[in-house]
């Protein structure tokens, strides 16, 4: 491992405690990256005039990108995304993070026609099949989802993946900005934790069509493949840093 890699730092926006890097974290740490998590309060206090990290990752969260009165850190999140873009640094957004990338580049974020919570098929587009970050994905995979919003693609973005219930599942903007609506990062323990989180249980109680027991029972079926894809995606993203 080159010494230069050991010095590289990743800026991570963590909107809620239970949504962290998950499986991605071990990959980044094993390659010597320094990880700096910013919770909402820390993000608001971040006032650097330029982006001084080597990459930016924004995680998911239960809020909407437009809930800026209740969650003012989202205003700063959009600013940091644009700062990273201006600095030419790689950016990865997952779920809310992908929606924030879209909003930061003036694309609309709206309610999806149906909530996706659980295991769903993901279909690569022709562009996705040739994209280096998705090189380990088959044309159709089963991934984990937990979202009610969706986004329009930012101007110039390339659609990489879709699902039957949500067209815009992954995109690339420029050469090194990626938005993923689905959760590639979850471990088996994270899925179980999310299903047991109070706010999530309240949400699920209003969605009789979503069977949390079925989600839990399907973890052994799908989690191994998803974790492999996560590690492969991490390695591809690391090459851009």
Gap between the Cα atoms of 113 and 236, Å rounded:
32
For the question of residue 95 being annotated catalytic, the response is yes
SS3 39: coil
User: Of 108, 110, 96, 8, nearest to 52 (Cα)?
Assistant: 8
Choice among 95, 116, 141, 147 that is catalytic: 95
Choice among 73, 183, 230, 238 that is catalytic: 183
- Give kind and range of the element (H or E) at residue 82: helix 73-86
User: Of 108, 109, 81, nearest to 177 (Cα)?
Assistant: 81
In terms of C-beta density within 10 A (0-12 exposed, 13-18 middle, 19 or more buried), how is residue 78 classed? Answer: middle
For the question of residue 42 being annotated catalytic, the response is no
Q: Starting at the edge strand that comes first in sequence, how are the strands of the sheet with 91-94 ordered?
A: 34-38, 9-13, 55-58, 91-94, 177-180, 166-173, 158-163, 109-124, 140-151
Q: What are the CA-CA distances from residue 31 to residues 5, 26, 55, 124 (Å)? A: 7, 9, 14, 28
Choice among 116, 185, 230, 238 that is catalytic: 185
For the question of residue 183 being annotated catalytic, the response is yes
Q: Residues near 96 by Cβ (< 8 Å), separated by ≥ 6?
A: 15, 58, 59, 60, 61, 63, 65, 147
Catalytic site positions:
95, 183, 185
């Amino acid at each position: 491992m080159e010494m230069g890699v050991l010095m590289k730092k990743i800026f991570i926006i963590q909107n809620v405690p239970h949504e962290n890097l998950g499986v991605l974290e071990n990959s980044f740490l094993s390659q010597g990256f320094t990880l700096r998590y910013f919770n909402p309060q820390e993000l608001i206090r971040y006032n650097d005039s330029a982006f001084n990290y080597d990459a930016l990752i924004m995680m998911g969260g239960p809020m909407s990108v437009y809930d800026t009165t209740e969650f003012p850190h989202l205003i700063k999140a959009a600013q940091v995304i644009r700062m990273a873009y201006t600095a030419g640094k790689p950016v990865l957004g997952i779920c809310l993070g992908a929606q924030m990338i879209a909003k930061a580049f003036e694309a609309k974020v709206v309610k999806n026609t149906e909530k996706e919570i659980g295991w769903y098929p993901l279909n690569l587009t022709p562009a996705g099949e040739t994209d280096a970050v998705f090189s380990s994905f088959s044309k159709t995979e089963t991934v984990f989802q937990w979202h009610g919003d969706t986004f329009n693609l930012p101007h110039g973005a390339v659609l990489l993946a879709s699902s039957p219930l949500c067209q815009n599942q992954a995109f690339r903007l420029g050469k090194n900005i990626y938005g993923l609506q689905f959760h590639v990062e979850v471990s088996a323990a994270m899925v179980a934790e999310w299903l047991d989180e109070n706010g999530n249980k309240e949400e699920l109680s209003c969605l009789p069509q979503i069977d949390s027991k079925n989600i839990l029972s399907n973890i052994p079926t799908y989690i191994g493949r998803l974790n492999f894809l996560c590690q492969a995606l991490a390695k591809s993203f690391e090459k851009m840093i």
